[in-house]
Structure 1
Amino acid sequence: FHISGNARLQNKTAVEMWRLMSKEQKTLTIQMAMKVADLGHVTLPFDLTKQWVMRLQEEFFRQGDKERKLGMRISPLMDRKKLGVCSSQAQVGFMEVIAIPMYEAWAKAFPTCGCMLDQVKETLEAIQAMKTSA
């Protein structure tokens, strides 16, 4: 009962909180949830995050290849001939400027999601360690 009781209480609190939100607050919460989900790979252990980033880089490069083939200007981070999103420099910048501030805001709004922020910070530390040892 203790665990299920806590879960029911937390759920009731979340439901009440939702009811008290304005339409604008609900919209913002849903938009933020979509961003948190979209960048969810950074909340995984580092080895899995790295795999997802490599897949993302390949997707970006394929887009750049198509842009090159069509004679278009190649979008930033999409050019195979330049550093991609897998570079330590790009990853550190992304984590510091985008991921950590976003997950800090999310964890502040939803404290039970603090573990996501913790993992993002661990991933950043792993990337920085790789960058230093390279």
Structure 2
Amino acid sequence: MQKDELWQLLSHAYADDEVKQDESLQQIIFQSAKELDKTTDYQLICMKLNQALSTYLLTNHLKAPKCIEQLLVKTAKYAGSIVAAHIDELNIPEIVSTLAGINNIMIICQSDSDADIVLQAFKAISE
């Protein structure tokens, strides 16, 4: 992703009707746009934005407007460790641990049945 594409995504999200009704989302997007305006390091802004949106999702029962989901996907390039840390903080009993790379996560479960439970939960979230 380039800086211009991030600008477009932020503008689209800020104009979204659902986002307009959520003050915390408006603040996250506005702050990111402000920082993006001040710097040439848009990748740093992507990482910060992804972390803020991931935290938002976790505190809002994994529910967010579609434009926010798009922002998460587009800014996730270097967010593996951020997402893994959030998963660890959830203290899901079926998850023993997570292992994160730059843009991927391995979730370790104690048994196949625990892995199936976690997989079904993530599938339900993504629908």
Q: Return the TM-score normalized by structure 1.
A: 0.29
Structure with more of its chain in strand, by fraction? 2
Higher share in helix: 1
TM-score, normalised by the number of residues in structure 2: 0.30
